[in-house]
Homo-oligomer: A and B are copies of this chain.
Amino acid sequence: MPGPSAASRLTAALIERTVAGPGVDEAGAALVGRAVADTVAVMLAGAHEPAPVGLREALTPPPGPAFVVGVRGRTAPDHAALLNGAAAHALDFDDVCHSVKGHPSTVLVPALLAVADRTAPTGRDLVDAYGVGLDVGAAVWSGFGPDHYARGWHATSTVGVVAATAGVARLLRLSAAQVGHALGVAASFAGGLRQNFGTDTKVLHAGIAAEGAVRACLLGAAGVTSEGAALGGPLGMLHVLGAGDVEGALGALAGPSVLTGRRGLNVKRYPCCYFAHRAVDAVLELPVPVPDDVAWIEVTVPPGSLSALKYDDPHTGLEGKFSGPYVIAAAMLQRELTLADFTDAAVARPGVRELARRVRWSESPTPPLGAAEWQDGYAVVRVEHRDGRVDQTRVDVPRGHAQNPLDDHEIEAKFRSCTEHLLGTERAIRAARRLRTIATAEDASTWSVDLDRHPEPPTEESGSS
């Protein structure tokens, strides 16, 4: 257990990074712009899923300047962060990052946009704040160590609330003292249990963390105090929720930005569990099979992957996202995976279900094809035909991974696939470009201008509703 000195050094380093840490470079700004566009795309697509709808039904939105995606209306910044955070995570189609063991943008982006609506920063400031938040998140994750997630914490939420607090504090230009208090408040807001995975509450975790970040900063700005050792102290967040590796957190802060690393942002190409993405890419690399000729499809992945892919026989669209056999069969037949493949009706399609019964997933520390080494993961897919022919391939770095990123065109295509049924094609294209290039905006509060579903002035009828 470190003495007060390690805890104080951590606090000082976190404040220093937040207040005065370097902005992101041009390549990083392009990545952040894509992350913002990608997050807003899945936010709009998810805004009418059960968790965000439940939040809107249960809670009273106060009036305010912050835009709520997918609904006509603006509210207070913390409330907008809550609603938009839940919407962004509702489809599990938002980006992931190994450096924070979870989904960074579903917390960071809604929190930052909610504050941007109030303060109208430049796009460059917004992008720099994202970079600061992501790096603070990676430091917190390093301080927790792997036991944090294994024990049952949902790191997206626990790491996310502190990460987003740093980002929002940067955007609001809080003083060093205010940043210190805001981070300490955020430490007491951290919560969220993996036991709730597979339910609406998992989705709430993202919104609650985004809301907590906005609140922590507004409270810090209002003079509310917290303890200087709330993160690194013996009863502080890193110890209580994790291994308390304060030196590890300091080391992560001293290292290069997450955005420049090989474990940077992984944008999801498919709206399903990330543990299935490599296998889907492998399926799409193989020759197109004739379904009736397929005897078996064997998929091999590293140990630990299957605990998330827990539905062998899915009955709902949500279960389908976490079903290895379903995802493989659908990808093989559709030659693509889109949101349309994860409705309850799509999961019930007899052809897909029939092929899914011939898919077998297993785990192995050593890939059965190619080199024995791998880094973040691998998938080997082997298709055995009834005539004895075998097609097989291996994918280690899936499309959308930090080392194999989606290009601007693909980001815009995903944006359209998520939103054009809501916005129309023209506005979807405009919105995607505006968001992807947010770093160049003079006023980042313009991020939402293309997103209102009812841009026309209110008529008598809509005005009365």
Contact = CB atoms under 8 A, between A and B. Distances in A.
B64 A60 contact: yes
A189 interface: yes
Contact of A195 (B55, B76, B187): B187
Interface residues of A, number: 59
Interface in A18-67: 50-51, 54-55, 57-64
Interface stretch (A102-110, A196-204, A291-299): A196-204
Contacts of A191: 188-191
Nearest to A231: B195
Given A195-B235, A204-B224, 20 more contacts: A50-B223, A50-B225, A58-B219, A59-B78, A62-B62, A152-B239, A157-B188, A184-B199, A185-B196, A185-B201, A188-B192, A188-B205, A193-B236, A195-B230, A195-B240, A197-B227, A200-B226, A201-B225, A201-B226, A204-B219
A14 B78 CA distance: 32
A239 B59 CA distance: 30
Interface of A: 50-51, 54-55, 57-64, 76, 78-79, 151-154, 157, 184-185, 187-201, 204-205, 208, 215, 218-219, 221-227, 229-230, 233-237, 239-240
B235 A194 contact: yes
Contact of A221 (B58, B78, B230, B237): B58
A157 B189 CA distance: 11
A3 to B, nearest CB: 14
A195 B227 contact: yes
B215 A59 contact: yes
B200 A225 contact: yes
Contact of A196 (B188, B195, B218, B221): B188
Given A54-B223, A61-B62, A240 B187 contact: no
A153 B240 contact: yes
B201 A196 contact: no
Given A54-B219, A204-B224, A195 B59 contact: no
A76 B60 contact: yes
B59 A226 contact: no
Given A152-B235, A201-B185, A240-B153, A60 B59 contact: no
The 9 closest A-B pairs by CB, nearest first: A152-B235, A62-B62, A54-B224, A58-B218, A60-B76, A191-B191, A195-B235, A152-B240, A201-B226
A61 B61 CA distance: 9
A184 B199 CA distance: 10
25 contacts: A51-B224, A54-B219, A57-B222, A58-B221, A59-B218, A60-B64, A60-B79, A61-B62, A62-B63, A62-B76, A152-B234, A184-B201, A185-B201, A185-B204, A187-B196, A188-B192, A188-B193, A188-B201, A189-B191, A189-B208, A193-B235, A193-B237, A195-B229, A195-B234, A204-B219
